Chains A and B, each alone.
Chain A
Amino acid sequence: MNTALWIDVGAAAAIPSRGARRFMFRDTPIAVFRAGDGGLFALIDRCPHKGGPLSEGIVHARSVTCPLHNWVISLETGNAQGSDSGCTHALPVEARDGQVFVDVGALSLAASA
């Protein structure tokens, strides 16, 4: 079982609509996205194709198109869509009282294991 580790990554207002911001947790880049409908999502910021920074992609519906070679990745599961296959890790994320919290528990376990 993963131990939850919620960290406060900043103000919810800082995540632009249909856009993303990123931060580093230890050595792992993490992207926090806001979909057009307002929903927040967090993914490890590495495209399953060649590691492209998904946080720089165009966000549409609940997906992001990787800026390097246009793979489309689901914001909810981190899975590549369509005929491409591969997956990056999705992390739980929540807005509470205007701040965004990301659960990096899965990473801290992996890092300490």
Chain B
Amino acid sequence: MFDARSQRPRLVVIGNGMAGCRAVEEIIALAPDKYAITIIGAEPNVNYNRIMLSPLLAGEKTFDEIVINDRAWYEANAIDLIAGVAATAIDRDAKNVALADGRTVPYDQLILATGSTPFVPPVPGVDLPGVVTFRDAEDVNTMKAACDRGGRAVVIGGGLLGLEAAYGLARNGMDVTVLHLMPILMERQLDQSASHLLTRALAARGIAVMLEAKTTAFVGDGRVEGVQLEDGGFAPADLVVVSAGIRPNTALAQQAGLDVARGITVNHTMQTSDPAIFAVGECVEFEKQLFGLVAPIWDQCRALASALGGDGALHFQCSDTGTKLKVSGCEVYSAGLFAGHDRSEDIVYRDAARGIYKRLVLDNERLVGAVLFGDADDGPWYLSLIKSGESIVDIRESLIFGRAVTEALAGVNPSDAVAALPATAEICGCNGVCKGTIVEAITQKNLTTLDDVRSVTKASGSCGSCTPLVESLLAATLGDGFERGPSIKPVCKCTDHGHQRVREEILAHGLKSMPEIMQQLEWKTPDGCASCRPALNYYLLCAWPGDYKDDKSSRFINERAHGNIQKDGTFSVVPRMWGGLTSPAELRAIADVADKFNIPTVKVTGGQRIDLLGVKKEDLPAVWADLGAAGMVSGHAYGKALRTVKTCVGTDWCRFGTQDSTGLGVKIEKFMWGSWTPAKVKMAVSGCPRNCAEATCKDVGVICVDSGYEIHIGGAAGLHIKGTEVLCKVTTEAEALETIAAITQFYREDAHYLERIYKWMARVGLDHIKACIVDDSNNRRALHDRFVLSQRDAQVDPWAERANGADADEFTPLRPALAEAAE
């Protein structure tokens, strides 16, 4: 045996891992006796399945079960395994490899399969005992030993490996927190919706997730005790697993002078810049790409074997791969791209009851990407469609329902598909109503409208996402007898639900975040659009005062930057002048700010205050700081919020004044400013029916009379001129304030986003509003109290916050450095 070996060319492989051994297997399969093979491995073990380290950690597998090639395999193939010794240098002239134990191994052909090394962020404390990475069997042993001592574990990195580590540690009884830098878990594979569902699923397994958490140091006295975060937070830990990415292990190649970019550069046959040296696996870079999954690595091994053991005709090509998260009972699959081209479209399917989210990305009638959560069975089928690049025109309608449905419906015209469904097919998942029941109800009870079907069968009565199917069934059953009824106007094209239903569901299901709403209400797009996102953000803010964290990315620029954007991209600044009152000190501060920041236009607005127009975005925080120093706060001239409360001079000066209209206006404005509303809200208080403050064309107006205060609502003087209607008359200021707060809160809780009070009133009726506010004093008080509660968190001057550094990034442009010029 040994003699036969000595006749053959010497093939040496550095790296006894997945790529190295698979390459050898492929070569032996093509040319069993061609080489005398030596494998050098730094790890002491035989070749095992690295992928299975996750189940090994979780205790779902033993080491023996994950071995790929045992000792017998090396012996049977006459492979000389040098295990537990690292290669330290390659001498390309002498054609030999130096080992850590001083030996040298000569080669005729060399394969580098050195894999990658975990990336550890360069922060203080990385060398503390208790800080480990997750790459090999030794790491698993270290983690298991730590788990035996118990306590808290922190995993840095919410990618595939980090989450599998977290799951394994949790299974071993640790109290686990994952810290992830990005706002989305597994951001290279998942979108926000899937990430949200995954966060929930992990929470159910006792794993806490903190997103946008940046580690600045590992802290501990002689042993790690916790992780310091950039925002000042601290996560205590007895064990820290760093899983923040991997870097190709190129040290040997670099030392030997091979071409190395991010990885070792190779051609289609996996040959490096030295014809006698090949490279394979995670250590290589091919066509600017790196590799972190085994599927493409297996292709590399086949190409390499073809070069070294065959005719070299098989070339390696990059192709799409799928990723599956190995967390038991938690199906997550992702394949291809989710960034297509501008023609690309999303098909989104959500099943709230079963916790399923599927998103397919189509580009030019081809499938280019898929994200699946909750039901990943069709993952490989989608991947094959992505890889084949075949047209999906014919199966588009059923594609999202997976392979079985698509194949069952093949050849059936999509509009006839409902007709072709069996009577037992479930139409309404929420209420478990099948086709037969619906058809029977339609024919036997002579139903003709969607509402009829809803009330008789309950189909489409819950989440409503099967409404189109039920309508098709009606059409198919009744033929011409069916007329589509006036349907509810959906919020936008992302959903079939109207505003009201969305607001009801938020409360009914306690939905507290945008991804939760989108999942529960089965949104048809992955992350909404510029119409629904601001609406949902407002509904959440209104439903959960103090609890919900405002989502900046769902705010129009005016509300995000707290100023009105102008046509040239500058902003306007309108500070509050309570009830239209100002003072020499305020006017002086405004004049100084205008001078200091070269503000081109200063104008008196129609709302009794002053507008500074043409302020540069970068200057906003400083302008606000100066105005704030003079006691002024944001006027919300930019917001769906309380704008101004106009007043007239009232009893203080006017010979006709019946009440202190200025004073009441100031009180109202101080009480109500800062409140977010469905659309803008303008108010005014006039001291007598001559109405100099124009109170009868405001959303809420007060006309003072001798015997008290007339409260008016529903006026406007913009696109439509609308005089107000009288809601009621009260006798004291306190009653006036309570009533105005109650109306505002009723409007806040009931109106559709962007619906001004006059439109809301036209929809629900003045009588209804009267009944709820005027006639029902308990309800009035309760509404008032809820308004007061929400004001507790709303009355923070957004300008002062930003002058003090909040959202600094929003106001600072990027400052590029000329760093790299190519060719």
B557 touches A67 (CB 8 A): yes
Residues on B with beta carbons closer than 8 Å to the beta carbon of A59: 553
- Which of B182, B534, B555, B819 sits near A101, CB closer than 8 Å? B819
Contact A10–B815 (Cβ < 8 Å): yes
Give A23 to B187 CA distance when docked, in angstroms. Answer: 25
Interchain CB contact under 8 A, A60 and B534: no
Which residue of B has the minimal Cβ distance to A40?
B339
Judge if B723 is at the interface, Cβ distance under 8 Å: no
User: Among A22, A52, A57, which residue has its beta carbon within 8 angstroms of that of B813?
Assistant: A22
Q: 16 A-B residue contacts at CB 8 Å?
A: A4-B821, A4-B822, A7-B818, A7-B819, A8-B819, A13-B214, A18-B554, A22-B814, A23-B813, A23-B815, A37-B190, A58-B553, A61-B525, A62-B339, A62-B340, A67-B556
Closest partner residue, chain A, to B359 (CB atom):
A37
Of residues 177 to 227 in B, which have CB atoms within 8 Å of A's CB atoms?
181-184, 187-188, 190-192, 214
Q: What bracket does the count of chain B residues touching chain A fall in? A: 35 or more
CB of A3 within 8 A of CB of B823, answer yes
Known: A6-B822, A17-B184, A61-B527. A23 touches B553 (CB 8 A): no
Most buried by A among B181, B190, B553, B567: B553
Interface: B595 (CB within 8 A): no
In the bound assembly, the distance between CA atoms of A68 and B566 in angstroms comes to 8
Q: Does residue A91 face the partner (Cβ distance < 8 Å to B)?
A: no
Q: Which residues of B contact A (CB under 8 A)?
A: 181-184, 187-188, 190-192, 214, 338-342, 344, 346, 525-530, 533-534, 552-558, 560-561, 565, 567, 569, 809, 813-823
Counting from the closest, the 5 A-B pairs by CB-CB distance are A74-B342, A18-B553, A65-B530, A8-B819, A23-B814
Q: When chains A and B are docked, how far (Å) is the Cα of A102 from the Cα of B190? A: 24
Residue with the greatest number of chain A CB neighbours at <10 A, chosen from B192, B567, B816: B816
- In the complex formed, the residue of A with least CB distance to B371 is A37
Q: Determine the chain B residues whose CB is within 8 A of the CB of A89 once the complex forms.
A: none
Partner of B530, one of A5, A22, A23, A57: A57
B556 near A58 with CB under 8 A, answer yes
Q: Are B214 and A62 in contact (CB under 8 A)?
A: no
The reply to whether A36 and B813 contact each other, CB–CB distance below 8 Å, is no
Give Cα distance in the complex from A37 to B561, angstroms: 24
Quick check: A36 and B527 within 8 Å, CB to CB? yes
Question: Shortest Cβ distance from A58 into chain B, in angstroms?
Answer: 4
Chain A: minimal CB distance from B64 (Å): 39
Tell me the smallest distance from the CB of B248 to a CB of chain A, in Å: 13
Report the Cα distance A29→B159, complex, angstroms.
Answer: 34
User: Assuming A8-B816, A16-B553, A53-B565, what are 12 further A-B pairs, CB within 8 angstroms?
Assistant: A5-B821, A8-B820, A16-B552, A17-B184, A21-B809, A22-B813, A23-B813, A36-B184, A58-B533, A60-B530, A60-B533, A101-B819
Chain A interface size band reads 35 or more
Is B820 a contact partner of A101 (Cβ separation < 8 A)?
yes
Distance (whole angstroms) from the CB of A88 to the closest CB of chain B: 12
User: A13, A23, A61, A68: which contacts B181 (Cβ < 8 A)?
Assistant: A13
Q: Give the residues in chain A near B533, CB-CB below 8 Å.
A: 58, 60
Smallest beta-carbon distance B77→chain A, Å: 41
Q: Which residues of B contact A6 (CB under 8 A)?
A: 819-822
Contacts of B529 in A (CB 8 A): 60-61, 65
Please give the distance in Å from B246's CB to the nearest CB on chain A. Answer: 13
Cβ–Cβ contact B822 & A19, under 8 A: no
- 0/1 interface trace, chain A 1-42, chain B, CB 8 Å (1 if under): 001111111100110111101111100000010011111000
**Once the chains bind, are A67 and B565 in contact (CB under 8 Å)?**
yes
B813 touches A24 (CB 8 A): yes
User: Is there an interface contact between B183 and A17, defined as CB atoms closer than 8 Å?
Assistant: yes
Task: Given A6-B821, A8-B817, A17-B184, verify A58-B565 contact (CB < 8 Å).
Answer: no
> If A7-B818, A81-B342 touch, does A50 touch B567 (CB 8 Å cutoff)?
yes
Which B residue sits closest to A73, measured CB to CB? B342
**Complex Cα–Cα for A23 and B818 (A):** 13
A67 to B563, CA, bound (A): 13
- The yes or no answer to A85 lying at the interface (CB within 8 A) is no
A21 near B557: Cβ-Cβ < 8 Å: no
How far is it, in angstroms, between the C-alpha of A52 and the C-alpha of B569 when the chains are bound?
7
Most chain B CB neighbours (cut-off 10 Å) among A3, A9, A13, A56: A56
Cβ-closest chain B residue relative to A60: B529
Given the complex of chains A and B, what is the CA–CA distance between A25 and B819 in angstroms? 13
Most buried by B among A13, A21, A36: A36
B342 CB contacts on chain A under 8 angstroms: 62, 74, 76-77, 79, 81
Report the nearest A residue to B571, measured CB to CB. Answer: A56
Min CB–CB distance A27 → chain B (angstroms): 14
In the assembled complex, which residues on chain A have CB atoms less than 8 Å from the CB atom of B820? 6-8, 101
Central interface residue in A38, A50, A62, by most chain B CB within 10 Å: A38
